[in-house]
Structure 1
């Protein structure tokens, strides 16, 4: 099955990696899968050493690709919440497998 998109990908893995590539994207998705809804500050606290610029960029890309939903509330002080979309939730089994593999691999080291 050939995937049609703006770019011609060699295989489905290449297409998937293009969407989730980024040092922090999978970690952001993992934290959202655990907490369901998180505010920007909560996400930032859960990630070690991420800059404001990088977090903002990664969140914007995840939202543009349909993996997360951004809900902005018009109130003072401003409130923004992030959650997984159905597409983002579909990655949870993959993230769980990666977490399990990481735990097992760390034990071996």
Structure 2
């Protein structure tokens, strides 16, 4: 699905954001482990490459579903990821869709 200027459906926008192979998985992991670090995320999904992890996180950051906090006095800094208010509002809807998907025939 691709969002266009001519037909810009809200559901399409959400589907575009989460259509990447790893994005929804990352969203769920962050929702369950707020303040999780980059390496912890990497360990949760062993199949993901560093580049795909970075790209997927960047998409979720740009779309406003997660926020990133940096800590430490010098590089390399420690990154922690959190759900945003926007994501927390979406979470119950995704949980409902998850339940629907499990039990629909």
Give the shorter-chain TM-score range: 0.7 to 0.9
Measured at CA, do residues 98 and 6 of structure 1 come closer, stay the same or move farther in structure 2, by a change above 3 Å?
closer
In angstroms, what is the RMSD of aligned CA positions?
2.5
Matches of 1:68 and 1:37 in 2, distance apart? 10
Matches of 1:35 and 1:91 in 2, distance apart? 17
Matches of 2:8 and 2:69 in 1, distance apart? 35
Paired residue for 2:99? 100
Structure 2 unaligned blocks of 5 or more: none
Shift of 1:22: 0.6
Paired residue for 2:20? 22
Paired residue for 1:32? 30
Structure 1 unaligned blocks of 5 or more: none
How many residues of Structure 1 are paired with residues of Structure 2 in the alignment?
Answer: 102
Measured at CA, do residues 71 and 6 of structure 1 come closer, stay the same or move farther in structure 2, by a change above 3 Å?
farther
Cα deviation, 1:36-72, whole Å, max 9, x if unaligned, reads 2100011111114001000000001110111100111
Measured at CA, do residues 10 and 64 of structure 1 come closer, stay the same or move farther in structure 2, by a change above 3 Å?
closer
Matches of 1:32 and 1:16 in 2, distance apart? 17
Matches of 2:40 and 2:103 in 1, distance apart? 28
TM-score normalized by the length of structure 1: 0.77
Shift of 1:103: 5.5
